[in-house]
A and B are shown apart, each in its own frame.
Chain A
Amino acid sequence: AQSVTQLGSHVSVSEGALVLLRCNYSSSVPPYLFWYVQYPNQGLQLLLKYTSAATLVKGINGFEAEFKKSETSFHLTKPSAHMSDAAEYFCAVSRNDYKLSFGAGTTVTVRA
């Protein structure tokens, strides 16, 4: 069975500060990994995904994530937070079955 753990249900950062959201997966084989963002009262949209092509993945809105097999992690970062980054972020994993398993989510608030 596979699962995803997101460390920290809430993260608060100052505008301009680093955003770091943690995601760890459990899987016997390297999975496919995704980060989605959900703005208030909206559906989810894809930020980026790891498909084994490159371990450092760049996404939209200045976000990137690094796949580390030795740490079974896929943490999401953004060097400088903007007020518009306030949202809920979900890590998800898939394994050759066309289905996604989501983490519980991390809510990001950005302080002016």
Chain B
Amino acid sequence: DAGITQSPRHKVTETGTPVTLRCHQTENHRYMYWYRQDPGHGLRLIHYSYGVKDTDKGEVSDGYSVSRSKTEDFLLTLESATSSQTSVYFCAISEGQTSTDTQYFGPGTRLTVL
């Protein structure tokens, strides 16, 4: 299994509070991704990173920000959580050598915003 951990694994929070999810990898892969998974939508890309301090938006980036200060860590922040952000969040990594590189997924974080 790819060395990817996500923390926390479960979180319940209230509307309006800030939340930070952490993804940590031990593979030294260049690319890191944050997705959210919702029924009927599959996985949708929130943000991704192609190197330290290099990030870009995905298709559902509104309300989210990211940071990557070290190769191994990619943080996803919800500045002011809303109920629509209740979801399962997955981190993924890939080597970034070619576009056919496999993305490896973490175990997910289940976030509930009340």
Contact = CB atoms under 8 A, between A and B. Distances in A.
A96 interface: yes
Interface residues of A, number: 26
Nearest to A45: B105
Nearest to B50: A98
Interface string A81-112: 00000000010001111111111110000000
Interface string B25-45: 000000101000000111111
Given A99-B48, A99-B58, A43 B107 contact: yes
B42 A102 contact: yes
B90 interface: yes
Contacts of B33: 99
A95 B99 contact: yes
B41 A104 contact: yes
A44 interface: yes
What 3 pairs across the A-B complex have the smallest Cβ distances? A43-B105, A102-B42, A51-B100
Interface of B: 4, 31, 33, 40-45, 48, 50, 58-59, 90, 92, 94, 96, 99-108
Interface of A: 6, 9, 32, 34, 36, 41-46, 49, 51, 90, 94-105
25 contacts: A9-B40, A36-B105, A41-B108, A42-B108, A43-B4, A43-B90, A44-B43, A46-B104, A49-B100, A49-B102, A51-B100, A94-B99, A96-B99, A97-B99, A98-B31, A98-B94, A98-B99, A98-B101, A99-B45, A100-B43, A100-B103, A101-B59, A102-B42, A102-B44, A104-B42
